[in-house]
Structure 1
Amino acid sequence: MSSEHMQIGEVAVRTELSLRTIRHYEETGLVIPSARSQGGFRLYTEADVARLMVIRRMKPLGFTLDEMRELLAATDRLDSDEELSTAEREELLAQIRAFEKAAQQRVEDLRTQLARAEEFAATLRQRLPQDATV
């Protein structure tokens, strides 16, 4: 991983998140800029961008900020260089498994919602005259 720092604008472009959203995630403690420039600008690393991408992927699945924080804490702990007991490692992996299972269920729920929405749109299309060019 590069130790090169990016300003918030570049991070916003890379993550497709607004500056306001990134600042909100900072205020809630989900992501903390790795450094600040001499001028006080937030500076981010590739690890910070990866963290924001996890958050961005969890949001549409309806995970709460607390759930995001819990998953990130578990992955941070697993990724740390600190020695973990077997029991602690298993507990962290169990937490991640639970999130994976919840994510899969939410994806299935979204597929169902999308299928229903497509059926509805098709029903409306069928009600329109075939030669309608409105």
Structure 2
Amino acid sequence: MTERQMQIGEVAERTGLSLRTIRHYEEVDLVIPSARSKGGFRLYTGADIERLMVVRRMKPLGFTLEEMRDLLEITDRLSSRGADPNAAEESARLRERLDAYRKVADARCETLRAQLMAAEDFAATLRRRLEETA
């Protein structure tokens, strides 16, 4: 059974990304459509959508396009390891790099949580002031 392929409009709907953003990610080699229709339309698979979602989740954490590309390469290589005798050694190096990205993501999430707390505190202060002046 072949995997279902979707056109860019459906992918945009599923991912919450704009058509323009998806096309941009293709231009910068983050996501390449799995195929093209006879009419030249981009066709995406579930794996392509997963890849787009990784990029979408990295963006608010401030990762650069190069870092996104590197992380995707790491995950691609980890998922395609074969019976190569050097695979275990390479896998360990790739996992170390992946863990470094995880640590950066964790730290950036903590920063965002602190910023959100400050923003919520500020909004609460404004609500109290409005109540006091009513």
Q: TM-score, normalised by structure 2?
A: 0.92
Say which SS state the counterpart of residue 43 (structure 1) adopts.
Answer: strand
For 1:118 and 1:29, locate their aligned partners in 2 and report how far apart those are by CA, in whole Å.
Answer: 38
Shift of residue 128, structure 1, vs aligned partner: 1.4
Structure 1: which amino acid aligns with 2:37? S
Query: Does structure 1 residue 63 correspond to structure 2 residue 63?
Result: yes
Shift of residue 2, structure 1, vs aligned partner: 5.8
Q: Which residue of 2 aligns with 1:106?
A: 108
Cα shift readout 1:18-42 (whole Å, capped 9, x = no counterpart): 0000000000000000000000000
Shift of residue 81, structure 1, vs aligned partner: 4.7
What stretches of structure 1 of length at least 5 have no aligned partner? none
Aligned residues: 132
Cα shift readout 1:68-109 (whole Å, capped 9, x = no counterpart): 100000000011153452221111000110111111111110
- Which one of the candidate residues 115, 118, 127 is aligned to 2:117? 115
Identify if the C-alpha distance between structure 1 residues 81 and 3 changes in structure 2 by more than 3 Å, giving closer, same or farther. farther
Q: Which residue of 2 aligns with 1:18?
A: 18
Contact 1:30 1:68 in 2 (8 A): yes
Contact 1:7 1:43 in 2 (8 A): yes
What stretches of structure 2 of length at least 5 have no aligned partner? none
Identify if the C-alpha distance between structure 1 residues 120 and 53 changes in structure 2 by more than 3 Å, giving closer, same or farther. same
Identify if the C-alpha distance between structure 1 residues 131 and 2 changes in structure 2 by more than 3 Å, giving closer, same or farther. farther
Q: Which residue of 1 aligns with 2:28?
A: 28
Structure 2: which amino acid aligns with 1:5? Q
RMSD: 1.6
